[in-house]
């Protein structure tokens, strides 16, 4: 079966940079695209554009999305749902499991950063598939060839599509480096132990012994972003553990902070523990 990439599209999909990024990845990945639009979602269809909710407005949206789909470089379908975004995505993945789900900043500006982050965390809670979050800028280097995986050194087990990172690296001829940041002065686990947590999940086919940097920084997020900038990474990969997705104070989650603050695309791989 041809792998698919699901793009969560808003009213302004024509100018949605996330779609351009996803379409660019779909070609080397030999994947199809699915444009998923939730009619009444706060992020994709904000109340400020109530006129779009009329019958005429919805017909125009459907026509625009179909026209947009026809212009893509790979096979592209459109799905418009009246469910909430999380429900719509659950329904789609039940029929068509994706390689990736892609979320970008909504076209209605200014969009509260917390709304984008809360949406991403909610999707990961309900539909634990790899989620790629695209910032409004910061991906001028395309395709992504310098990927940085942030790990904490603790064992983990991925939920779905653990091969997505390997496929990305192969399709883009990219390289992968790892960073582990400690913020409390504690002695980190050995580099070999950290690398074993990645190898156990078969995230990549090869992992060099010198691919890991272990650094100390005042904050985990600050250390990861500093390392990404220093390595001129063009995609950040993080492991989202279930406890961080279920916690009520998502503001304190490292994953949530990285989604808000990263200037480059962030690929979130949900873990079962």
pLDDT digits (tens, 9 = 90+) for 180-226: 998 877 777 888 888 998 888 888 878 888 899 998 888 999 999 99
Does the pLDDT at position 142 exceed 60?
yes
Residue 145 burial by Cβ neighbours in a 10 Å radius (0-12, 13-18, 19+): middle
- Maximum CA extent, the chain: 62
Does the pLDDT at position 140 exceed 90?
no
pLDDT digits (tens, 9 = 90+) for 42-81: 555 555 444 555 556 678 888 888 998 999 999 999 998 8
Mean pLDDT of the chain: 82
And the tokens for 67? 């026209």
Q: Of 75, 97, 67, 68, which is closest to residue 26 (Cα–Cα)?
A: 75
Specify the residue for token string 């992992």. 207
Is 129 a domain residue?
Answer: no
The pLDDT of residue 109 is 53
Is there a cis peptide before residue 262, judged by omega within 30 degrees of 0? no
At residue 3, the 3 state secondary structure works out as coil
Is 116 a domain residue?
Answer: no
Same domain, 260 and 155: yes
Query: H helices of the chain, where?
Result: 17-29, 55-70, 85-95, 113-126, 164-172, 191-199, 220-230, 242-246, 254-261
Is 89 a domain residue?
Answer: yes
Return the higher-pLDDT residue of 177 and 259: 177
Highest mean pLDDT among 67-71, 120-124, 158-162: 67-71
Angle of helix 164-172 relative to helix 17-29, nearest 10 degrees? 80
- The pLDDT confidence band at residue 113, using thresholds 50, 70 and 90, is low
CA 97 to chain centroid, in Å, comes to 15
CATH of the domain at 32: 3.40.50.620
Domain count, the chain: 2
Q: How far apart are alpha carbons 244 and 255 in whole angstroms?
A: 8
| pTM flag (> 0.85) | yes
pLDDT digits (tens, 9 = 90+) for 6-18: 998 876 654 577 8
Same domain, 18 and 71: yes
Would strands 131-134 and 266-270 be described as parallel, antiparallel, or unpaired? antiparallel
Is 140 a domain residue?
Answer: no
Is 141 a domain residue?
Answer: no
| Domain around 155 | 146-270
Is 130 a domain residue?
Answer: no
Same domain, 161 and 233: yes
Q: Of 28, 41, 51, 27, which is closest to residue 170 (Cα–Cα)?
A: 28
pLDDT digits (tens, 9 = 90+) for 222-238: 999 999 999 999 999 99
Highest mean pLDDT among 35-44, 69-78, 82-91: 69-78
The pLDDT of residue 244 is 57
Is 256 a domain residue?
Answer: yes
Would strands 212-216 and 175-182 be described as parallel, antiparallel, or unpaired? parallel
Is 238 a domain residue?
Answer: yes
Work out the percent of the chain whose per-residue pLDDT is above 70: 81
């Amino acid at each position: 079966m041809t792998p698919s990439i699901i793009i969560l599209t808003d009213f302004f999909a024509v100018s949605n940079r996330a779609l351009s990024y996803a379409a660019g990845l779909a070609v080397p990945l030999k994947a199809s695209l699915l444009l998923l639009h939730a009619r009444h979602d706060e992020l994709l269809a904000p109340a400020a554009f109530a006129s779009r909710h009329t019958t005429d407005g919805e017909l125009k949206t459907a026509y625009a999305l179909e026209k947009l789909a026809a212009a893509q470089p790979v096979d592209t379908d459109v799905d418009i749902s009246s469910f909430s975004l999380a429900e719509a995505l659950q329904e789609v993945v039940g029929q068509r499991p994706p390689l990736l789900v892609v979320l970008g900043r909504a076209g209605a500006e200014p969009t509260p950063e917390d709304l984008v982050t809360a949406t991403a965390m909610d999707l990961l809670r309900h539909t634990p598939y790899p989620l790629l979050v695209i910032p409004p800028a910061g991906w001028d280097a395309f395709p992504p060839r310098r990927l940085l995986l942030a790990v904490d050194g603790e064992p983990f087990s991925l939920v779905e599509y653990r091969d997505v990172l390997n496929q990305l690296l192969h399709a883009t001829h990219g390289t992968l480096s790892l960073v582990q940041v400690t913020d409390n002065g504690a002695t980190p686990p050995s580099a070999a132990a950290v690398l074993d947590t990645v190898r156990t999940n078969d995230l990549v086919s090869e992992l060099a012994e010198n691919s890991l940097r272990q650094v100390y920084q005042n904050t985990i997020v600050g250390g990861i972003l500093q390392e990404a900038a220093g390595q001129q990474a063009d995609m950040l990969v993080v492991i989202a553990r279930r406890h961080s997705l279920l916690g009520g104070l998502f503001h304190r989650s490292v994953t949530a902070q990285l989604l808000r603050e990263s200037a480059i695309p962030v690929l979130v791989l949900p873990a079962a523990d």
